[in-house]
Structure 1
């Protein structure tokens, strides 16, 4: 560690900066791995290594007070600059391109966004993305929402890197200035910023009512889960212009962007109608209630990004939470004497297409020849067959 320490101590060294960011990334990855590999034979050594990394990096961590006054602990004035975070996929030539200071009016977060879009692993989940925000406040939220679409482990690594980067710009993580979205529980989604860049983060909260369009109060049950998810869907449609829908009752022939107000209105109307039908049939015949729940589940899962989100992203897990609520209503129908089958459709499209109808083919994201999203599960109630519906990636031959 001797040479690492010496290099890190060199002021204004690009080599030191590259090393420091690499160590931040390594520390985060090891911390995440330790959470799962609790019985790994290298566990204790890894913990010692993390302690050494903490000691190496500690000398470079500035306190919140230091940033507020614009000086280091030694009284030296801080001069923020805009380095590009090196991705594991960047070449050394990319890393050592000259770092240009921001010009007047230029976005402070611009270089972080450019660095993120060089990560080939991340790009397979978000495609050829282009940031469109015109100020740092909006850009911070756009950046964080993009990470909600990738696997949570990868998103966490990038969130740590980004926070390390913005500290060099005189900004600090703010865990308390958060935009709240109504939900059935409290959940921190991502932090905001304070200091040289001010931006609100995002959280789910049970301290505010559901979207008034739902016309529902808290019930302390699975309907609260559905109401929270539908409220979140409606809010995200308002704030995120990247969302699309593939709801058959609105448009059966393609995946449509929700960028326009007219398309938003059509989809949201259909979503709310299906939610209200679920409430209206809550005490009806279990088979009727199940059909209503299947329709709502389809509407929720038809709200998609292109490329399709990873199933283990924050967004993917939110939709899966809605689908899990089907289990209860299926059991009620079976208890009432109905023969019920439910089958989510995943895997190779050639293996599932006989269970589905009106599927849509994509030419972006996912694995060629496989299902990218199960919009509607296959269901059978006694002798009545209710086909599923999927989005699938075209095969290599196509």
Structure 2
């Protein structure tokens, strides 16, 4: 495996390209065979091989080119401080910042702060602004990239002055202008439409996003940046589940609505980072809005006489694995042996059980 990785890393090598194409072919063939033969006695080993191939074929980030005094980043001190903070690596992993311009660096750092606990993010956001101001930049809230959603919110500011960089915001107007919300009342479906468009727009600007949606790919978390075909399939699945929820609402069957909501909530929570965002981060709290709405839908089904139990799975993996199926294991983030994020809730609807699905940290 070491020699395979070394050959793949060689630039401008025909042998390296041939090996990469061959390994992609093996990966695709094994994936199709695994789906076609789920009970094959070699299935577990095949899953391990697919995981190894996936990690082997991940592009190796190139180090930033050496800079001279004329093109050195104005935010170089911010980059150095961010990359050297050991507390950040607990939540973000050990990857270094990749941006080559001040504007990209500002946005890369600010988006990473959306994945860490909010008190730490607030402290780091103030520090980042102070370092930008030392470089002659000023906070700018008038030039913002808009994410459609049900409310207006400045997520982080842009910069003006010596550094020009866009900020990021939620925009209710951008949602109201979208074709998909035409005919949606200001209620459950309006919120879902907001999540649908926000996820799609965020995927466009965030290269660190992965998906773990079982109906698209069962065996691993998949980069949406490096696997564009997976990005298309994930977005198609998200739209399909939104449309099925719309139809269920039209039929007005409480149990049909509940099952549709469980499915689309799973799709929303399948959009993840590696390591997954901390539960009390901006991103974690945003996704929890979907879970709160799911609970209201479950309560409505209970109020008309159904026996419904919805459980968001957390804590020690050993304590909840009896309620799950097809979970995914990561070797980074969180605490070894604990659930990192609940992708799909466990549900018992009358006498029918539906297992949940989680990402969990491997035990040591």
Q: What's 1:15 paired with?
A: none
| Deviation at residue 157 of structure 1 after TM alignment | 0.2
Q: CA deviation at 1:132?
A: 2.1
**Equivalent residue runs for 1:228-239 within 5 Å:** 228-239=194-205
Answering whether residue 206 of structure 2 is matched by residue 240 of structure 1, we say yes
Asked if the contact 2:340/2:358 (under 8 Å) is kept, the reply is: yes
Name the structure 2 match of 1:131: 97
| Preserved contact between residue 181 and residue 190 of structure 2 (Cα < 8 Å) | no
Correspondence list, 1:2-21, <5 A: none
Query: 1: distance between equivalents of 2:337 and 2:239?
Result: 33
Who is 1:306 aligned against? 274
Residue of structure 2 equivalent to 1:376: 344
- The offset of 1:175, in angstroms, is 1.7
Structure 2 stretches lacking a partner, 5+ long: 1-66
Rounded Cα–Cα distance in structure 2 between residues aligned with 1:379 and 1:258? 28
Give yes or no for contact 1:347–1:370 (8 Å, CA) kept in 2.
Answer: yes
Tell me the alpha carbon deviations over residues 52-106 of structure 1, each in whole angstroms, 9 at most, x when there is no partner: xxxxxxxxxxxxxxxxxxxxxxxxxxxxxxxxxxxxxxxxxxxxxxxxx971122
| Match in the other structure for 1:144 | 110
Q: Deviations over 1:170-212 (max 9, x none)?
A: 1011122211111111111000000000011011011123685
Cα deviation, 1:144-175, whole Å, max 9, x if unaligned, reads: 10111111110010111111111111101112
Alpha-carbon distance in 1 for matches of 2:176, 2:95: 32
Q: 2:62 corresponds to which residue?
A: none
Please tell me whether the aligned partners of residues 311 and 345 of structure 2 are also in contact (alpha carbons under 8 angstroms).
Answer: yes
Give the secondary-structure state (helix, strand or coil) at the position aligned to 1:208. helix
Task: Verify the 8 A CA contact 1:360 1:390 in the aligned structure 2.
Answer: yes
The residue that corresponds to 1:395 in the other structure is 363
Normalised by the length of structure 1, the TM-score is 0.72
Offset at residue 269 of structure 1 (A)? 0.5
TM-score, structure 2 as length reference: 0.78
Q: 2:296 aligned to 328, 339, 349, which one?
A: 328
Counterpart for residue 75 of structure 1: none
Alignment of 1:288 with 2:256, yes or no, is yes
Question: Relative to total residues, which structure has the larger helix share, 1 or 2?
Answer: 2
Report the CA distance between 1:337 and its aligned residue.
1.7
Secondary structure in 2 matching 1:137: helix
Please state how far the C-alpha of 1:335 moved relative to its aligned partner: 2.0
Deviation, 1:324, is 0.6
- Which position in structure 2 is the counterpart of 1:11? none
**What RMSD, in angstroms, separates the aligned Cα atoms of the two structures?**
1.6
Aligned to 1:9: none
5 Å-filtered alignment, 1:173-212, equals 173-209=139-175, 212=178
Partner residue, 2:52 = none
| Matched position secondary structure for 1:281 | helix
**Structure-1 separation of matches of 2:239 and 2:149:** 16
Is 1:267 the equivalent of 2:234?
yes
How many residues are treated as equivalent by the alignment? 296
Listed one character per residue, the Cα deviations across residues 18-57 of structure 1 (whole Å, up to 9, x for unaligned) are xxxxxxxxxxxxxxxxxxxxxxxxxxxxxxxxxxxxxxxx
Q: What is the aligned partner in structure 2 of residue 108 from structure 1?
A: 74
CA distance in 1: counterparts of 2:209 and 2:155, whole angstroms: 18
Determine the C-alpha separation between the residues in 2 that align with 1:376 and 1:346.
11
Change (3 A) 1:102 1:188: farther
Q: Secondary structure at the match of 2:169?
A: strand
Q: What is the alpha-carbon distance in structure 1 between the residues aligned to residue 336 and residue 363 of structure 2?
A: 4
Specify the structure having the higher radius of gyration (Cα): 1
Runs of 5+ unmatched residues, structure 1: 1-100
* TM superposition shift of 1:130: 2.2
Q: Any idea what SS the aligned residue of 1:150 has?
A: coil
Q: Is the CA contact (8 Å cut-off) linking 2:216 and 2:230 kept in structure 1?
A: no
Q: What corresponds to 2:354 in structure 1?
A: 386
Query: Alpha-carbon deviation of 1:349?
Result: 0.5
**CA 102–157 in structure 1, closer or farther in 2 if over 3 Å, else same:** farther
Query: Partners of 2:179 and 2:340 in 1: how far apart?
Result: 31
